[in-house]
Structure 1
Amino acid sequence: MTFSIRAIIRALSRRDRGIHFGPERWVSLLAELDRRGGRRHEAGAFLLGARTGHLREVQDVVFYDDLDPEAYSSGVCILHAPAFAALWSMCRARGLTVVGDVHTHPKSAFQSEADRTNPMVARDGHIAIIVPNFATGRPARKTLGVFEYRGNHAWTDHSGARARRFLHNDLWSKFL
């Protein structure tokens, strides 16, 4: 009988869908968002990786201001067309795809009208994560905004208590 401990743990913990970060990558991402935003304005990044079924595996991060130096000049995250051309080129070169994006908000992690109507990547299954308080400290999963794009400006909200079953960024993530 062939079995996989990893598959059994994933099935028991219901981690076969959502987005997976190694815990070290998650912590360093938050610290870098805090640094780049300077606790004064939004900061963000694209999450690059692979998708297997309904699970996305984050393998690399590209910050908005590395693609567009003016990305934060208005105080909110805005990228122009050349930034996306550079992003797609990076993805091709690394053999990865954009599985999600993350950006900060000054207070709570709600999805603004601009976020809802202007997804960074308007592809079904794209994950958008919003981090409160400009990513200061180590926000608990339940404080994050976690949204899955469904097309035609429709989103599934995985925020609050639901984030525990969708955003996998804890110690167990290291083994799954």
Structure 2
Amino acid sequence: MPAAHILFFLLFAASLPAQIDLPPDFLWRLDSLDIRFTPPLDSDFRETTLRGDNRWLEEHYAMSSRREKLELRFHILPEHEGDRYYQLPHLAATTLAMNLGSNDEDAVTAVHSFDEEELALYGADWARMYTFRPKRSFSDKEQAQLIALYRSGRGLAYTILLFDKAPDTLEGRQLSLRFR
């Protein structure tokens, strides 16, 4: 009987999701803006090395899943009075989306404004989702979604989802970052 208990325990432990160890700098950024990070523990996400040739955005953390064929990148920006876009999240996020998006003639950017219920879900004062084709120098994926969240007095949090074909889990991955 003890062998059956051990086997059951091993099977149970193997079915538990793995914990993701986050870099101290990313944890500090999350804590400084009081942001909750919900890692995708139900899949095969692994930390990815950030591209050195990316001149468009300094990601603070990135992860990808082979199973979902999805890459997640995160950028956390504390609010400072001297910043060019101080208390202007709509300008900061739109400028970033335009910088990351393709300049091809047929490229289109769609913008989704969140309603009060969605803002409450994100704990944000302001939020937008931009869907576009990324510049090749930023990603080789066909599509990108930029989720921009802003909380007055704290700053901006960006989640960038990169994919060729949207996985079934995309909507849940959009909730990776939320203000507390």
TM-score clears 0.5 = no
Higher relative contact order (CA 8 A, sep 6+): 1
Q: Which has the higher helix share?
A: 1
Could you state the TM-score of these two structures normalised by the residue count of structure 1? 0.32
Decide which structure has the larger Cα Rg and report it.
Answer: 2
